[in-house]
Structure 1
């Protein structure tokens, strides 16, 4: 028995120090009014949660932005990862397949800040590379990151381009694990490529799709670096998402207790969305 505890102790200690301890601290901080500048903490109970949910109109605007970001990022990321160009075609061996997989996966391992800085310069007004290319074909592009109607779309697209390679690799691994006998048998019965994909390939990808959907949704609510570097939450708070709002409250305005309450609310939102996705996917699989 002692040997078993010794074997699990490193993992258990790490769990207590790096997960359970900070989680308990956040619960405590969320019930206090603690200012980092004064280093004074006053117990206020659930007042922070009351202020967030009932007295702060900015919170619901931030939640709306986060939901819009997730609704744009998750479907686009998954569809692009599963498209023929990224997953279906590249799961078959052909000349140069390793090169193309590397090209699509390279943004995943690129520094997020460096990636955001490059795209920030590319998406500038008339001097940006994107608008200069559009001008060659007679299109007058907007100032992508300074117009509220375009800033969110620009951030979503650049985030998708950066992270789609990871989901592409997961889909490729799942596709290559599907026995080719199923596809060949269906083609012998006269099934078209679309029918093979819809009736055989897509159902067999259900477990991988669930994992990708959950991870991408969680990642969409945790996005911070892109917003921080590219827009700073602007323009007109058009890209102010929940993770960046928590950072502002905690490290810009030094309202640690309020930021902790926001973090717990975000945790509950992400947990609820995850449970809904898992439940719906299990029903589909059944």
Structure 2
């Protein structure tokens, strides 16, 4: 058990501040966040070059040190040592909240283990920003972040989410958006409500709302640019294993199930496509691994 009094002046250690940065619009930086960056002894930044632009904008002179996913193991002991010496550190990621699909969690755990105070600041978060404008139920929600980049693993992850009743939040890069939307479509069905939230808080902010079928059509007819948050409605009629022998099976497994029960390959594919409200060609291409 660990109890933290965040502003206990008797502590001989420094404090780790978790400072959110804007996800696009620099005006979203809070007064408190700027003050912490100005008063900290050191800023641990995911990309010092990117953070320097933010510091220059707000006239922050604090020295930086790099802290990212590739140097976590070597950097954490160094940062812990500095905190134990009484140095105050502000940790930032390139955009949004530290630790949310960005570096930070391991450092927080290490600080807690060493009884060093960890103080979070509120601020910008792409997932919540997208959720409240998506038009889908804002609560309960399930934040997933980035799905696997490998198609087979990604489909398996989505299969695990199929019966979740909460609204789901995903992040995706522009060059992977079409493939991820295709897998969401084939695994969850085309009639799920969804919203694509692009370039949040920036000049070209855009929301594409509709069914998974419709947003897939949009993606396939549009030049994809910018970072995306994908919001998908939960399953209003989740099925348990007892309700449906296919519950928990991937699309490929469902096709195999029908084949084992006497249908031809084409009949099984047609049946699965109908079950998921999808075109037969979509299931055919996935089952036969046609890109």
Q: Which has the higher contact order (CA 8 A, sep 6+)?
A: 1
Higher strand share: 2
TM-score by length of 1: 0.24
Which structure has greater helix proportion? 1
